[in-house]
Amino acid sequence: MAATPTRSDALIHARGLTKYFGNLVAVDAVDFDVDRGEAFGFLGPNGAGKTSTMRMIGCVSPVSGGTLRVLGMDPAVDGPRIRARLGVVPQADTLDRELRVAENLYTYARYFDISGPLARKRTAELLDFVQLGDRADDEVEPLSGGMKRRLAIARALISEPELLLLDEPTTGLDPQARHMVWDRLYRLKQRGVTIVLTTHYMDEAEQLCDRLVVMDKAKIVASGSPRELIERYATREVLELRFAIDAAPALDGKLEGLADRVEVLPDRVLIYTDDGDAAAAAIHQRGLRPESTLVRRSTLEDVFLHITGRRLIE
């Protein structure tokens, strides 16, 4: 990847950022910059290096190689000072189950030297913000997954961070809970909080991220806005065909010349084209009889499939 000019005003600045675990290269010389006020995403399958990158940005995991600056400081030197200005929502929930809902925020404030009265005020405000105001005195454990995630987000906001790091913020949540989390993150972004998140959901990246990088096998394989990536790596539309299980061999050669690109997956065939309906008609003319056809807009998953030849969620 061509070196981009150093942007000293970037909130996060990484060049050749590398992480080893023994012989395993978890993050392989990645370059990226995150600007103040933007929502930036790391999109990729499990094991791509997203979490390792986040843990280095969060100044918890030491950098193995390359340069990393967070808020203009070096994590190796100023870890605690940087962390004082970050909010972190980890992938595995680290809420304190021995404490009640409000206590989780209130005690966390103490780690940031936030005084008692201020901590109580912020706790009340944040619980309202994540719509848990009426659960303040409840135990943590009976809360639903979505509520726990919102509580974790509220806790990460107790120090009014400039930069909020979220590692797979909606993994495992039901659709309604996901939308609730997205809505809160969107509001934070409007308030000027810089958001960095990892995800393996395309819709999440499309909804939330101004810019994102696609990671695969420890490297960044593409970067840009969701729209740019789709325009660059996919066609306007995708025609999805499903065939009866044993019909696949009969496809041989029959899809030639139909479209810009054809992807044969185990469960379906994707045909990348600017006009899905026309492609569907052409297929019919060639005598193919798929069990179902669907014309849809391209998504980031198509981008990912194109770049890596693999599906994002396997």
Partner 1 sequence: MNGALKVLAHHLRLYRRVWKGSVFVSFVSPVLYLASIGVGLGSLVSRGPAHTVGGISYVAFIAPGLLAATAMTTASSETTFPIMSRVYWMRTYDAMLASPLRVRDLVAGEVLWLTFRLALVSLIFFLVMAAFQTVHSIGAVFAIPVAMLSGLAFGTPVMAWAAKQRTDTPFALLFRFVVTPLFILGGTFFPIDRLPRLVEGIAWLTPLAHGVALTRALTTGNAASMATLGHVVVLAAYAAVGIAAAMVTFRQELAR
Q: Rule CB under 8 A: which residues touch partner 1? A: 21, 58, 60-62, 79-81, 83-84, 86, 88, 90, 92-99, 103, 107-108, 110-113, 155-156, 159
CB of 61 to partner 1, least distance (A): 6
CB of 151 to partner 1, least distance (A): 12
Nearer to partner 1 (CB atom), residue 172 or residue 294: 172
- Measure the CA–CA gap between 298 and 272, rounded to whole angstroms: 8
Nearer to partner 1 (CB atom), residue 96 or residue 274: 96
The tokens describing 133, both together, are: 């105001």
Give the 3-state secondary structure of the chain: CCCCCCCCCCCEEEEEEEEEECCEEEEEEEEEEECCCCEEEEECCCCCCHHHHHHHHCCCCCCCEEEEEECCECHHHHHHHHHCCEEEECCCCCCCCCCEHHHHHHHHHHHCCCCHHHHHHHHHHHHHHCCCHHHCCCECCCCCHHHHHHHHHHHHCCCCCCEEEEECCCCCCCHHHHHHHHHHHHHHHHCCCEEEEEECCHHHHHHHCCEEEEEECCEEEEEECHHHHHHHHCCCEEEEEECCHHHHHHHCCCCCCCCCEEEECCCCEEEEECCHHHHHHHHHHCCCCCCEEEEEECCHHHHHHHHHCCCCCC
Nearer to partner 1 (CB atom), residue 156 or residue 282: 156
Nearer to partner 1 (CB atom), residue 115 or residue 144: 115
Identity of the amino acid at 279: A
Nearer to partner 1 (CB atom), residue 52 or residue 223: 52
CB of 76 to partner 1, least distance (A): 11
Residue in the block written with tokens 């609730």 = 180
CB 226 within 8 A of CB 297: no
Nearer to partner 1 (CB atom), residue 142 or residue 287: 142
CB of 102 to partner 1, least distance (A): 13
CB of 60 to partner 1, least distance (A): 5
Nearer to partner 1 (CB atom), residue 114 or residue 255: 114
CB of 46 to partner 1, least distance (A): 18
Nearer to partner 1 (CB atom), residue 103 or residue 228: 103
CB of 73 to partner 1, least distance (A): 13
